[in-house]
Chain A
Amino acid sequence: MQEATFLILTALADGSQHGYGIIADVRQISDGRVKLRAGTLYTALDRLRADGMVEVDKEEIVEGRLRRYYRLTPAGAKLLAEEAVRLRANATAALRRLNPGLAGGAA
């Protein structure tokens, strides 16, 4: 899974958000490191919707423009959870090898 996709799913993990909200949230989650652009976001959302990982929660009109809120589907939540566990296992292994004394007892 690409990092952008992982962060988009994470942004939606605790409630629905609209496009701009996801961009702002991803920036915050990644500590300002990942600045999603609209093209990247909507290409990923299009794919995630087609795969049934994300769905439209609600739509509203703001200043004459359509605003859609997206949320995770159960399949999307499961995918994110599996990916998070995998990343944690990798990170733990890396830290344990770099620093046998400190990270050995974690988890």
Chain B
Amino acid sequence: MTGQEKLERGYRRVLACYPRSFRSDSEDEILAVLLATAGEGQQRVRLAEAADLIRGALRMRLRPASRPPRAVRGAVRLVCVGAVAQLAAAVTMIVTAASVRAALARQPDISVALRHQALSLLVFRAIGAVVAVGLWLLMAWALSHGRDAARLVFASFFTLITLTSLVALAQHGATYAAADTIASSAVWAIALVTVVLLFMPQSSRYYREAARQAAHS
């Protein structure tokens, strides 16, 4: 393999970070420019070149195809707030798990089966909270990239938490801890505002346009 081929292979490896649409459109072109600007006898991708290419790839992947309208940007910001709140909940759950376990161990009158049940519920909820953080972030990404399906998923999610909160309140309204009620009301309020923002006329126009562009490319 000649030095030039080696260099070209190195560039291609870094260019693999770019979105597929960009690569199929411009990979050969940018490669030609990279080879033209490379130093005499250069055989390896320089660190500064790689850093510049990776930064470009990140920027291309993170930015939406067209700037979403204000309502959508607001909604995305609220979904990010949701992700942060969820993260806080997950961390609290994991941190307090140990003390809950210790408290359970100190209770001699609890049966082994019940203790097991309580512990697995704890693990289950902690894993669920971590997964939920990922889902919130995925939601924020999809909403800011004009995915109409994400809007419907969020609306379904909102309906779901509304219904479960109502059922929970009806079943044991008075016994609910105040902190729990306040936290879930806050989440519900954030989700409500997000849904309203997502279904405003200017938002709907943005999602329709994004779907049309996706169908074309």
- Which A residues are closer than 8 A to B by beta carbons? 19-20, 23, 37-43, 46-47, 50-51, 62, 65-68
Contact in complex: B29, A37 (CB < 8 Å): no
Q: Is the CB of A40 within 8 A of B52?
A: yes
Give the interface of B toward A (CB within 8 A). Answer: 22, 26, 28-34, 36-37, 48-49, 52-57, 59-60, 63, 65-66
CB atoms of A38 and B37 under 8 A apart? yes
Q: Give the A-B pair count, Cβ closer than 8 A.
A: 63
Residue contacts A-B, CB under 8 angstroms, 8 given: A20-B37, A37-B49, A38-B33, A38-B37, A39-B53, A43-B55, A51-B66, A65-B28
Residues of A within 8 A of B32 (CB): 19-20, 62, 65-67
A46 contacts B60, C-beta separation under 8 Å: yes
Q: Are A20 and B36 in contact (CB under 8 A)?
A: yes
In the assembled complex, which residues on chain B have CB atoms less than 8 Å from the CB atom of A68?
A: 26, 29
Whether A19 contacts B63 in the complex (CB less than 8 A), given A39-B57, A40-B56, A43-B56, comes out as no
Q: Contacting B37 at CB < 8 Å: which of A23, A62, A65, A66?
A: A23
A62 to B57, CA, bound (A): 26
- Within the assembled complex, what's the spacing in Å between the Cα atoms of A20 and B38? 12
